[in-house]
Amino acid sequence: MQNHKRPPASLLFIFGGSGDLNYRKLSPALFNLFIDDWMPEKFDIVGIGRTEYSNDNYRAHLLKGIQQFSRRKGEENGKWSKFSEHVAYLQMDAGNEADYQKIADIVKEKEKEYGEHPNVIFYLAVAPQLVPGIAQKLGPLNICADTKCTRIVVEKPFGHDLKSAQELNSLLLTMFDEKQIYRIDHYLGKETVQNIIALRFANALFEPIWNRNYIDHVQITASETVGAEGRGGYYEQSGALRDMVQNHILQLLCMIGMEAPVSFDANEIRNKTVDVLHAMRKITKDDVKDFAARGQYSSGWMKGEKVPGYREESSVDQHSNVETFAAVKFYIDNWRWQGVPFYVRTGKRMKEKSTIITVQFKKAPNYAFPPEAAETWRSNRLTISIQPEMDIRLRFQAKRPGQEMSLNPVDMIFNYKDAYEESQPEAYETLLLDVMEGNATLFMRADQVEAAWKVIMPIQEAWEARPPLDFPNYAPDSWGPEDAEALIAREGHNWISVPAHH
Ligand code: BG6
- Residue 162 domain flag: no
Same domain, 463 and 357: yes
3-state DSSP assignment of residue 430: helix
Cβ of 243 below 6 Å from ligand 1: yes
Q: Ligand 1: which atom is nearest the Cα of residue 234?
A: 6
- Considering only CA atoms, which of 125, 117, 141, 158 is closest in space to residue 46? 125
Q: What is the CATH number of the domain that holds 71?
A: 3.40.50.720
**Whole-structure pTM value:** 0.95
- Residue 182 domain flag: no
- Residue 46 domain flag: yes
- Which residue of 183, 224, 444 sits with most ligand 1 atoms within 8 Å of its CB, as the best mutation to test the pocket? 224
Same domain, 122 and 205: no
Same domain, 390 and 329: yes
DSSP-derived secondary structure for 449-502 = HHHHHHHHHHHHHHHHHS--SS-S-B-TTBS--HHHHHHHHTTT-----S-TT-
pLDDT of residue 502: 45
Distance CA 420, CA 414 (A): 10
- Residue 37 domain flag: yes
Give every residue of the chain whose pLDDT is below 70, as ranges. 1-2, 74-77, 498-502
Of 155, 178, 199, the last residue of a domain is 155
CA of 314 to the centre of ligand 1 (A): 19
Same domain, 340 and 410: yes
Q: What is the CATH number of the domain that holds 357?
A: 3.30.360.10
Distance CA 320, CA 336 (A): 41
CA of 317 to the centre of ligand 1 (A): 22
CA of 278 to the centre of ligand 1 (A): 25
- Residue 199 domain flag: yes
Cβ of 224 below 6 Å from ligand 1: yes
Of 155, 175, 207, the last residue of a domain is 155
pLDDT of residue 366: 78
Same domain, 79 and 125: yes
Range of the domain at 34: 10-155
Same domain, 239 and 105: no
pLDDT for 39-59, tens place per residue? 999 999 999 999 999 999 999
Distance CA 314, CA 312 (A): 7
pLDDT of residue 76: 67
pLDDT for 284-298, tens place per residue? 999 999 999 999 999
| 383 beta partners | 358, 393
Distance CA 329, CA 344 (A): 6
Q: Computed over its alpha carbons, how large is the radius of gyration of the chain?
A: 24
Same domain, 127 and 193: no
Cβ of 155 below 6 Å from ligand 1: no
Same domain, 202 and 322: yes
Same domain, 253 and 131: no
Angle at 210 between CA 209 and CA 216, to 5 degrees: 90
Distance CA 497, CA 385 (A): 11
pLDDT of residue 372: 82
Helix, strand, coil percentages for the chain (3-state, nearest 5): 40, 20, 40
pLDDT for 54-98, tens place per residue? 999 999 999 999 999 998 876 566 899 999 999 999 999 999 999
- Residue 253 domain flag: yes
- Which residue of 155, 184, 243, 385 sits with most ligand 1 atoms within 8 Å of its CB, as the best mutation to test the pocket? 243
| 222 beta partners | 346, 355
CA of 224 to the centre of ligand 1 (A): 8
Same domain, 33 and 87: yes
367-395 per-residue burial string, b: 16 or more CB within 10 A, e: under 16: eebeeebbeeeeebbbbbbbbebbbbbbb
What is the total count of domains within the chain? 2
Distance CA 274, CA 294 (A): 26
Distance CA 35, CA 429 (A): 11
Same domain, 83 and 219: no
Active site residues: 248
Same domain, 146 and 193: no
